[in-house]
């Protein structure tokens, strides 16, 4: 029997294309595992009214380890319109299955490394004072609180009277008290001390273990005094046990501006759910974009690894496949780290580094040409060819 069982959840669109590529790499590197498929995504919302079916949860409960591709999420009205007519008046509400999974299993620590690969033509370059160019080496790891904040799901349009009454106990609600219910939308940002503590602690531990010299809390405590304030407070508390690591604090807006000024100065970054979502895409943009952005959603019991790109439906229909499998492959490498197979993970990362820097086999994004059926004529490699090249270097 294999040592590990990985629940594979390809999901929608290009998730179905890139996930099998990551499995091929895991097999090639000699990971002792078997794979069980699990249903997730838009198709199951439409046909069953549930994009995260119970049978999928049962598999995760059992095997504890997941690889996830991508899912399509659509706004409220469109989601309802696409639901099987037989299910339409049952009061079903679409909720992103990946967000639901993070919350159900308390996968509260999201790790998103953004590291430059040498020779990647998509790396960020910056003008130097003498008019030349320089390419800062970015090595940032974002720790995103993955279950709370603005993603907590506590939201209303036309909030019930009790909610309005409760809010009216706060003087700031006076400004909204006259707004008619249907014209009032509220999304709440909930932080708990426990979750703030956990994400900050994991960030510091990671910094220590991997030799990063700073942890930066990226929030907005000057305005979001309670929630961002709590994150900062916990960071100061945790820092005491990590004297060798500096604690910095940036505001999310300023961080977006500094992003292109001094990205090489940052090490580990920790943020709440929404700001973590933003700052991780932003840094990913400096190191090749979403085609390179990998992540792990980690709880005490269960962990799920996924590329942070979406399902890109317009590319999913193209055959041969054009999309970059590297984000998914790097996510599989993170899965290996998680189960204590870091040597294999390093072999994968080294193989990716070589393929990217040699530049002989590149998907369209790395050639900086538009994605589409024309890409091959312009020299782009297929998804599978990039995987093959990585496997050849293992
Ligand atoms: C991510 C994605 C998701 C998120 C979406 C697909 C719900 O943007 O993983 O970063 O917002 O968390
Ligand atoms: Mg995102």
Answering whether pTM is above 0.85, one says: yes
- Distance, CA 206 to ligand 2 centroid (Å)? 22
d(CA 142, CA 263): 13
Q: Which residues line ligand 1 (CB under 6 A)?
A: 73, 96, 98-99, 277, 308
**What confidence tens digit (pLDDT) does each residue in 173-214 have?**
999 999 999 999 999 999 999 999 999 999 999 999 999 999
Beta bridge partners of 219: 251
- Distance, CA 75 to ligand 1 centroid (Å)? 14
Whether 251 contacts 219, CB under 8 Å: yes
Which CB contacts under 8 angstroms, 24+ apart, belong to 243-247?
A: 244/208, 244/213, 245/204, 245/207, 245/208, 245/212, 245/213, 245/214, 245/215, 246/213, 246/214, 246/215, 247/214, 247/215, 247/216, 247/217
The closest-lying atom of ligand 1 relative to the alpha carbon of residue 281 is 10
The closest-lying atom of ligand 1 relative to the alpha carbon of residue 98 is 7
Instruction: For residue 157, give the 3-state DSSP assignment.
Output: strand
- Distance, CA 171 to ligand 1 centroid (Å)? 34
d(CA 262, CA 255): 10
Residues of the chain where predicted confidence (pLDDT) is lower than 50: none
Q: What is the chain's alpha carbon radius of gyration, rounded to the nearest angstrom?
A: 22
Ligand nearest to the CA of 282: 2
- Distance, CA 102 to ligand 1 centroid (Å)? 11
Whether 291 contacts 327, CB under 8 Å: yes
CA distances from 31 to 10, 34, 333, 342, 344 (A): 19, 9, 10, 11, 8
Query: What integer pLDDT is reported at residue 216 of this predicted model?
Result: 98
Closest CA to 17 of 361, 272, 307: 307
d(CA 329, CA 337): 13
Sketch out the chain's domains with CATH numbers.
1-110+292-394 (3.40.718.10), 124-149+191-286 (3.40.50), 154-187 (no CATH)
Count of beta carbons in the 10 Å neighbourhood of residue 190: 17
CA distances from 303 to 7, 64, 84 (A): 10, 6, 32
Query: What integer pLDDT is reported at residue 1 of this predicted model?
Result: 84
DSSP string, 80-103: HHTS-GGGTTS------HHHHHHH
**Ranges assigned E (strand) in 12-101:** 33-37, 65-70
**What confidence tens digit (pLDDT) does each residue in 24-46 have?**
999 999 999 999 999 999 999 99
d(CA 310, CA 318): 16
Atom 4 (ligand 1) nearest CA: 277
């Amino acid at each position: 029997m294999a040592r590990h069982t990985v629940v594979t959840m390809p999901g929608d669109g290009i998730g179905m294309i890139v996930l099998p590529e990551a499995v091929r790499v895991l097999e090639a590197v000699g990971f002792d595992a078997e794979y069980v498929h699990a249903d997730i995504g838009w198709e199951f919302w439409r046909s069953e009214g549930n994009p995260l079916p119970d049978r999928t949860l049962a598999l995760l409960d059992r095997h504890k380890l997941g690889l996830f591709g991508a899912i399509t999420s659509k706004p409220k009205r469109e989601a309802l319109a696409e639901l099987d007519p037989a299910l339409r008046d049952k009061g079903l509400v679409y909720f992103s299955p990946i967000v639901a999974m993070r919350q159900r299993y308390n996968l509260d620590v999201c790790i998103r490394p953004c590291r430059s690969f040498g020779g990647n033509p998509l790396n960020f370059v910056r003008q130097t004072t003498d008019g030349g160019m320089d390419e800062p080496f970015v090595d940032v790891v974002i720790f995103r609180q993955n279950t709370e904040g603005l993603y907590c799901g506590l939201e209303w349009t036309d909030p019930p009277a009790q909610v309005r009454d409760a809010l009216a106990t706060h003087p700031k609600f006076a400004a909204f008290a006259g707004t008619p219910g249907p014209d009032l939308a509220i999304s709440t940002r909930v932080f708990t001390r426990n979750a703030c503590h956990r994400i900050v602690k994991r960030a510091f531990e990671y910094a220590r273990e991997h030799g990063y010299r700073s942890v930066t809390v990226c929030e907005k405590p000057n305005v979001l005094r309670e929630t961002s304030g709590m994150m900062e407070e916990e960071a100061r508390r945790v820092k005491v046990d990590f004297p060798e690591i500096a604690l910095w604090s940036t505001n999310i807006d300023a961080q977006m501006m500094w992003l292109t000024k001094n990205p090489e100065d940052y090490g580990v970054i920790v943020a709440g759910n929404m700001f973590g979502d933003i700052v991780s895409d932003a840094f990913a943009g400096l190191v090749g974009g979403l085609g390179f952005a990998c992540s792990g959603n980690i709880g005490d019991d269960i962990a799920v690894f996924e590329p942070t790109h979406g399902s890109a439906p317009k590319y999913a229909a193209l055959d041969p496949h054009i999309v970059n499998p590297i984000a998914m492959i790097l996510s599989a490498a993170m899965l290996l780290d998680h189960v204590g197979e870091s040597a294999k993970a390093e072999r994968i990362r080294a193989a990716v580094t070589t393929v990217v820097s040699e530049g002989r086999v590149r998907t369209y994004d790395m050639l900086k040409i538009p994605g589409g059926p024309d890409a091959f004529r312009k020299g782009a490699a297929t998804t599978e060819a990039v995987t093959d090249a990585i496997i050849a270097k293992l």
